[in-house]
Chains A and B, each alone.
Chain A
Amino acid sequence: MYPANFHYTKEHEWVRVEGDVGVVGITDHAQKELGDIVYVDLPKPGTHLDQGKTLGSVESVKAVSDIYAPVSGEVVEVNALLSTAPEKLNEDPHGDAWLVKLKLSAPDEIKRLLSAEDYQNYVGAEEAGH
């Protein structure tokens, strides 16, 4: 379910490292909790983001949710697909519907994120609490 080569946050973002770039998205658990996604607000390329600070927001029919930067870095690319087809976030949150690519400014931060297994256990506990 959760790709083993991704790193996860308790706020339900993921990051996949490609060289000095981190591809960032939200998890399948997050999209399920949000429901039908209708709007995605993302930063412009060139924006510097600090780990844990607001990256943007995702809106479902019902509500707005903040997305936080899982790692620090400068936005080098924004997924244009999501401005025309935000619903892709419901369909392919770990693949085509990534949010932004960041040029990592503190690659060591990755080590503090959750592994796929830890994240699975974390959301498993959260889901059981429902």
Chain B
Amino acid sequence: MTQPAAGLKATPLNSAHRKMGAKMVDFGGWDMPVQYSGILEEHHAVRKNVGLFDVSHMGEIEIHGPDALALTDSVTTNAVAKLKIGQAQYSGLLYEHGGFVDDILVHKVSDDHYFICVNASNQEKDFEHIAKANRLNATVDFASDRYAQLAIQGPKGLATLQKLTVTDLAPIQYYHFTDGAVSGTPARIARTGYTGEDGFEIYIAPDQVERIWYEILDAGAEFGIKPCGLGARNTLRLESKMALYGHEIHASITPYEADLAWIVKLDKGDFTGRAALARQKEQGVTRKLVGFEMTGRGIGRDGYEVYLDGAPAGWVSSGGPSPTLSKNIGLCYLPSDRAKPGQPIQIMIRNQPVEAITVPTPFYKRAK
């Protein structure tokens, strides 16, 4: 069968994934590749060489107009005014109560144009949230249909992509981008990613992405490039302690609880959720995200209960094997006074408490 299951959304690369033998799964309503050759092999390819991901399911929202900055700043937690043209910023889109609508990447294209990359399953909700807040002279444009997105990640990502563009990639700094072309097709080329490795994410026209997908695989062949699925994307982001919506963050979690204080700029002026965050900052959080490592035999996974002193005290937001470290790692929520490295905890694995200990994060940091 070469068709996605009924009711699932598909990226423009769906038939390419199927032709190439990817294992497909339902990911938040999208028919996406979870793996090609195997999660471990793909994970190691990204850490050592280069991997290629189809992330076209991600959504895009564009904000234009004289008040584009004011609107973007009023709905996000980070300081949009600090962005220079060609710079990108990780940020939060919050409800009034301080919980996450989504976590997002804000790109400043020009003084009156901001380009926001959002999570696939949140894109309609995000668009409505921003559009509703728009009482200014700005337009909010749901742009997901205009962009496919590929991530070229790993130490050989630059050398791979450089073969297909005249844009000099080396001067593009981390969390910066430029508008250029990849293999003759206009592309927004950003030095961003969700793997903790150097690399690029490119935004291109959906009707060109299949050709470019294959050209990138050809260009990276000499470096051992691997097409990668969402399985490796998850193990890579977990090692680098990057949040995943629905796991580390959701409507009932604030940036302070998620250990994301660095994306909150209370002094930038008012924004949705600011009052709740200011209150929480003053009072202190009651629970906080912290990393852990299994010390007993077993793998603490998403949703498992965490015990302290024999009583339930929190939950695992994401957990699994770390291919790079050959350990079983995870992130969990604990009462904030105990959410510090060195705290022994027990994770309930199939009704059995298994020993673990909290540790500093990120679990993996690339050598610069």
Contact = CB atoms under 8 A, between A and B. Distances in A.
Interface of A: 35-36, 38-39, 41, 57, 59-62, 64, 128-130
B196 interface: no
A35 B37 CA distance: 9
B301 A35 contact: no
14 contacts: A35-B39, A36-B39, A36-B40, A39-B297, A39-B321, A61-B39, A61-B40, A62-B34, A62-B35, A62-B39, A62-B234, A62-B320, A64-B299, A129-B1
A57 B38 contact: no
A27 B235 CA distance: 26
Interface of B: 1, 23-24, 34-35, 38-41, 231, 234-235, 297-299, 301, 320-321, 323, 328, 350
Contacts of B24: 130
Nearest to A61: B39
B1 A61 contact: no
A35 B231 contact: yes
B231 A57 contact: no
A112 to B, nearest CB: 28
Nearest to B234: A62
A102 B350 CA distance: 23
A35 B299 contact: no
Given A61-B39, A61-B231, A61-B235, A38 B299 contact: yes
Q: Which of A35, A36, A39 gathers the greatest number of chain B CB atoms within 10 Å?
A: A36
Contacts of A38: 299, 321
Given A36-B41, A61-B235, A61-B321, 4 more contacts: A36-B40, A39-B321, A41-B298, A62-B35
Nearest to A128: B1
